[in-house]
Structure 1
Amino acid sequence: MNSFMLHQLPVDSVTLSYPRKDSSHYLVLNLQVFPVGQDRFNRTGISSIGFELSNQTFKPPPQFGPFFFIGDPYLNFAGEVTGSKKSSNTGVIIGAAAGGCVLLLLLLGAGLYAHRQKKRAEKATEQNNPFAHWESNKSIGGIPQLKGARNFSFEELRKYTNNFSEINDIGSGGYGNVYRGVLPTGELVAIKRAQQGSMQGGLEFKTEIELLSRVHHKNVVSLLGFCFDRGEQMLIYEFVPNGSLMDSLSGKTGIRLDWVRRLKVALGAARGLAYLHELANPPS
């Protein structure tokens, strides 16, 4: 005790027990050291006491001769072994649980990120092609199917117009050129092909088609279909022969209209306008 006190070690008391002789006839004693005011030594106290004993700074009485210090695993008052396998296993379990939680959070974050990227991709696809999710109707010939308006591919319309030849170019306007086309059924159609500068956004073009497909009146040209393919926007209408109304009224087509026929034309146009303003859904 004097030696421990001299070196200011946190030792309250010591006990010597179980005296015996080993195979070399050395006297063996168990030395137990107890801390001051607590139930266990801290790491610094254990290191200091072990250093003093193992380096023989503690000098026994001469009659005992030299001594050897063999340290056993450190036990606290509860008999628990410090740094034991149980503690090690507990640490491994805690570490594994923490690692599993981190891995789970990383996987969850990756899943959320992938889901968000998928939604963004779907939204971008819908912006670029708003017709992608319209239901198909194979019996009529493609998607979408709105009040009789059919979806045509670019290749189909190029075939029907003989590659948009000048012979089939029947007019032009602010929207673009108008071409005459012949369907496989022999039906004539008028194809309005938008110019690059007059093209609308995909959603706006879709909205226009939805509106035009609802227009059905004998005095209004009907929309038969559309094309939204290869960066093209085209509207397909029923074909009206003998040129435009202006050509007929001015006599350019060679058809002479008397006042009775002109009056019928005016009444028909008025009925068409009345339908568009009052009866069409929604009104134009």
Structure 2
Amino acid sequence: MLRSIYYKLSPKQRLLLRKVVYAPIDLFRKRHELEPPKGYVYTGPGNYIEIGETFFEYFQQYGNIQPNSRILDIGSGIGRMAIPFTNFLSQEGSYKGFDVVAQGVNWCTEHITSKYPNFTFTHTPLKNDLYNLNTNAEAKDFTFPYNNKSFDFAFLTSVFTHMMPEDVLHYLDEIHRVLDDEKICLATFFVLDEISRKHMQSSKMNFKIQRDNYALMDEKVKEANVAFDKAYLFAQFEAKGFTIKHYFPGTWSGRTENTVSYQDIIILQKK
């Protein structure tokens, strides 16, 4: 019920609501020096610092990252994943992120880039039902502002979960283009397989609106949450020039066996 009411608000109203709701907490709460106020965080619930550190462990374990690596954060939000890298990357390494929400990019530039010049964040104002309705520019037509083979590791956390199929397919092309040979991409998804479909019937994350190869939770705000059929998705990875190295189911549907995180995590390697 609350979720549907929240989705009826405009993206700008949602950002404002978060600031109002969390204002009392932010007034008195002690924060990490690079942690934004809770009212500014629009990338999901949970402990901002802890989630970033947890994913950084995945990046280290599966991404083959080094202090001099060239990192691409697709959908960099408000810097949650960037913070752990500030103590890892050397001056020879680089961290580039882009996001559709100006608030996050501006905050990261002011608080992270000012201290770590090899970290840069770019605002890419693309249309998204959940985050940005002030443009007609679409993700399926967007060319990443980077040269071929510019990165050693790319990742997307809670990005493909807010994108329609044609946008996802185009982003896979762009990721393949900007990744160096045999490098890794880590991405999170809502994956529909026999187990998740069964469990989600009694979960708050129930994708009831079925479409070809994908499903939605909200018809009016389609990109609020998007889930993809596993067979379809995995076939697209192969077709786009990736090898599937690992698939770690998440707990979003209510499944508990062999889970790692809330969303499903997929590790891809460029062929």
- TM-score when scaled to structure 2? 0.21
